[in-house]
């Protein structure tokens, strides 16, 4: 009798989970980020914008990247982004045991460390710096991803972060000393992976474009199906983490919460992926790798809830949309005389 009652409530729980979606495990608890003040006396400033400034600070045996943000209205948006970031990071870590033997091993989401609102804005002055004094209303800290050191003189011998970004520009474009180089085509990505392997053959890294695109698919699948966000403007770069070269997913500021995986929602997500300046061009010819990455995430829901789960139904819609797009491109190509 007890056993039957247990299974009754277990079934009821899983049916409820099927309805609400979200994280795979009921034991996963997403704790709010700490409110923490850091010693900024040794900060290295690396960038600025209308929101404030970004710096690197020593932390234990490594470093943190910290955004020092001015204006309470900007802080409100930054707080929302930090919450989304934390949700996606927790969902990403939850998949580790299940996907560790896939391209997941080439992927990383930096851990968000803290978000701090200041009751009284801080005035920060930076000696021996081109940065002006700032009135800071809040701070947002996360793990710092170390730039890759490449010896070839095309990169001017500086450690760099490679941003995977499609645009009309050609070549490696250096936006700033710290922003890194933008890579704009599959051809360039292929050459970069070969260069990294030639210079550092012993360092664990993606071996092919298929590895990169599949890892990006896992990140996108995690955002959509585990965290329930439309990952608008999701950006990716190659950086060093724990002595390995990883695909880093970052920038959660434009993510939008989704309530379900119906046709309207999945069409919007599809349009945002195809139109994305960061992903659209890289999908062409590698759609299968991208979708396979997403499917690795969706399979975890199917294992728990079966093929009737809404995550799988949403994924089928996404696959159909990609299939129609590929068929349309092929038909247009066949029209060329």
- Per-residue model confidence as pLDDT tens digits over 130-177: 666 778 899 999 999 887 776 654 545 455 566 665 443 333 444 444
- Does the structure show a pLDDT above 70 at 21? no
Lookup result for tokens 């009284």 = 120
Residue 180: pLDDT band (50, 70, 90) is low
What gap in Å lies between CA 22 and CA 225, rounded to an integer?
7
Q: What Cα–Cα distance (Å) separates residue 265 from each residue in 73, 257, 310, 320?
A: 29, 10, 12, 14
What gap in Å lies between CA 69 and CA 162, rounded to an integer?
25
Q: pTM of the entire structure?
A: 0.84
Instruction: Give burial (CB, 10 Å; 0-12/13-18/19+) of 180.
Output: buried
DSSP β-ladder status, 244-250 and 107-108: parallel
**CA nearest neighbour of 216 among 255, 250, 190, 183:** 250
Of 95 and 171, more confident:
95
Measure CA 198 to chain center: 27
Contact between residue 121 and residue 134 where contact means Cβ atoms under 8 Å apart: no
What gap in Å lies between CA 225 and CA 91, rounded to an integer?
9
In sequence order, which ranges of the chain are alpha helices (DSSP H)? 2-20, 72-94, 96-99, 186-199, 209-221, 263-275, 280-283, 287-305, 310-334
Contact between residue 280 and residue 254 where contact means Cβ atoms under 8 Å apart: no
- Per-residue model confidence as pLDDT tens digits over 215-272: 999 999 999 999 999 999 888 888 888 889 999 999 999 999 999 999 999 999 999 8
Lookup result for tokens 């948006």 = 77
- Per-residue model confidence as pLDDT tens digits over 26-50: 445 677 888 888 888 888 888 777 7
Per DSSP, the three-state class of 159 is: strand
Strand partners, 63: 58
Lookup result for tokens 């890892």 = 215
Give the pLDDT confidence score for residue 239 in this predicted structure.
86
Q: How many Å from the N-terminal Cα to the C-terminal Cα in the chain?
A: 74
Instruction: Give burial (CB, 10 Å; 0-12/13-18/19+) of 254.
Output: middle
Give the pLDDT confidence score for residue 6 in this predicted structure.
39
């Amino acid at each position: 009798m007890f056993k039957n009652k247990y299974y009754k409530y277990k079934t009821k729980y899983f049916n409820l989970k099927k309805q609400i979606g979200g994280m795979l495990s009921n034991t996963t608890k997403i704790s709010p980020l700490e409110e923490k003040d850091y010693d900024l006396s040794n900060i290295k400033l690396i960038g600025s914008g209308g929101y404030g400034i970004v710096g690197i600070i020593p932390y234990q045996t490594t470093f943190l990247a910290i955004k020092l943000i001015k204006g309470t209205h900007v802080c409100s948006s930054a707080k929302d982004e930090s919450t989304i970031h934390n949700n996606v990071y927790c969902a990403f870590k939850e998949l580790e045991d299940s996907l560790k033997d896939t391209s997941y091993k080439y992927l990383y989401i930096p851990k968000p460390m803290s978000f701090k609102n200041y009751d009284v804005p801080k005035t920060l002055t930076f000696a021996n710096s081109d940065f002006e004094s700032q009135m800071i209303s809040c701070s947002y800290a996360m793990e710092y991803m170390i730039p890759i050191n490449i010896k070839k003189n095309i990169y001017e011998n500086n450690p760099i972060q490679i941003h995977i970004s499609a645009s009309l520009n050609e070549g490696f474009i250096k936006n700033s000393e710290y922003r890194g180089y933008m890579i704009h085509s599959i051809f360039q990505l292929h050459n970069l992976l070969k260069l990294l392997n030639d210079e550092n053959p012993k360092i664990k890294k993606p071996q092919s474009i298929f590895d990169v695109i599949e890892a990006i698919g896992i990140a996108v699948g995690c955002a959509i199906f585990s965290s329930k966000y439309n990952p608008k403007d999701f950006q990716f770069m190659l950086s060093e983490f724990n002595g390995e070269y990883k695909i880093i997913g970052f920038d959660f500021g434009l993510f939008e919460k989704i309530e379900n995986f119906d046709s309207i929602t999945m069409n919007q997500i599809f349009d945002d992926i195809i139109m994305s300046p960061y992903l659209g061009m890289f999908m062409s010819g590698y759609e299968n790798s991208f979708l396979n990455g997403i499917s690795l995430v969706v399979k975890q829901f199917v294992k728990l809830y079966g093929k009737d789960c809404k995550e799988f139904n949403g994924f089928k819609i996404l696959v159909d949309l990609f299939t129609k797009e590929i068929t349309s491109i092929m038909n247009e190509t066949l029209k060329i005389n």
